[in-house]
Amino acid sequence: MAKTASVTDKPIQIRVFPNRLLQPQTAEKVLNEIDHVKGVIRMLINGKNLPRKVTCGPGTGADVNHPDRTVIHVGDCAFELHIIVGEILVEVEDESAVENLRTACERAFPFPFEFKRGHFIKRRPTLTDYGKYGFKSKTDESINLEDERLLGLVDPHAKLENNLCVVKTEEKS
Taking the alpha carbons of 121, 123, 128, 134 in that order, is the dihedral positive or negative?
positive
pTM summary value? 0.75
pLDDT tens digit sequence for 17-44: 999 999 999 999 999 999 999 999 989 9
Taken in order of first residue, the domains within the chain and their CATH numbers are: 12-121 (3.30.70), 124-157 (no CATH)
pLDDT(173) > 70? no
Q: Comparing 36 with 124, which gets the higher pLDDT?
A: 36
